Amino acid sequence: MVRQNKTNKVWFITGASRGFGRVWADAALKRGDKVAATARRWESIAPLKEKYGENVLTMELDVTRPHQVKEVVAKAHAHFGRLDVIVNNAGYSLVGTIEEASESEVRALYDTNIFGAISVVQAALPLLRKQGWGHILGISSGLGHVTMPLIGYYCSSKWAFEAIHESLAAEVKPFGIKVTIIEPGAYATEFGSQSSLKFAGELGIYAELRTHFMGRLRNAERGDPNATPEALFKIVDAENPPLRLFLGSQNLPWVRAAYAERLATWEAWESVSNSAQGQSK
């Protein structure tokens, strides 16, 4: 069985028009790799073709259209002859309390963040399995472990995203396919800007909470997205990459504290939990 090289990889990246997707596409191309870059609007990624020529394939892709996903993934594989790294990156955030967001807004969020990601995985797996290798990078968030008010539905999409990719990792390991969940903290990308967020309708009773949250968002310390490619390269070049990787220094202390609190609560209520076991049968 042919193995992929540690260098000269072929990447397939969704959401490559801006943010991490654009930074990583550009960095992979600069190091001599090849990239199939996709975005909802082709013109947003056209400059990559102008800059890198034959090393990049730019394609329009709406991940909420499963048939288009399958066609585009197959086209990328046929064009380069293989796909080494699948970067499942497309997604967005919905700002609104649990009460405020409408059913249609939540469904649209999940169509992109969950069902779109599933479509990419399901389109890529037969090709990766046939070639005998591949590495799927699921781009999650530190919010796949903790939550914040006003973006609860976004957090919930990342919790689901984490579970799907963790199960996937166990399912595809026998085929030589690796999975890593990438969990960035807050970064100075367009993702967190008001122009990149979708907002649910507002109820006056949450006005104070909203003001506090948006102020916190504006004043949050943000990492430099251009500092992230080397960490990503270490993951895709590793013989045994981890299932999860935080990007940035903020997530580990936050998640460590959250899990310590959860464990303390479960342990404090352990006797009540155990009493619900009943008699063994």
Tell me the catalytic residues: 140, 154, 158
Give the dihedral sign, CA 139/84/77/32. positive
Picking from 93, 95, 94, 92, the residue whose alpha carbon sits closest to that of residue 210 is 95
Q: Are 265 and 257 in contact (CB under 8 A)?
A: no
Report how far residue 208's alpha carbon sits from residue 210's, in angstroms, rounded to the nearest whole number: 5
Separation of alpha carbons 53 and 40, rounded Å: 20
DSSP, collapsed to helix, strand or coil, labels residue 95 as strand
Angle at CA 19, nearest 5°, toward 250 and 234? 60
HSE value, Cβ hemisphere, 13 Å, CA-based, for 199: 10
Q: For residue 136, give the nearest of 98, 192, 87, 186 by alpha carbon.
A: 87
Alpha carbon separation from 99 to 35, 94, 152, 196 (Å, rounded): 41, 13, 10, 22
Closest CA to 133 of 80, 87, 172: 172
Q: In the chain, what is the straight-line distance between the N-terminal and C-terminal CA atoms, in Å?
A: 49
Sequence-ordered list of residues with C-beta below 8 angstroms from that of 175, at least 6 positions apart, any chain: 128, 129, 132
β-pair partners for 42: none
75 by DSSP, 3-state: which? helix
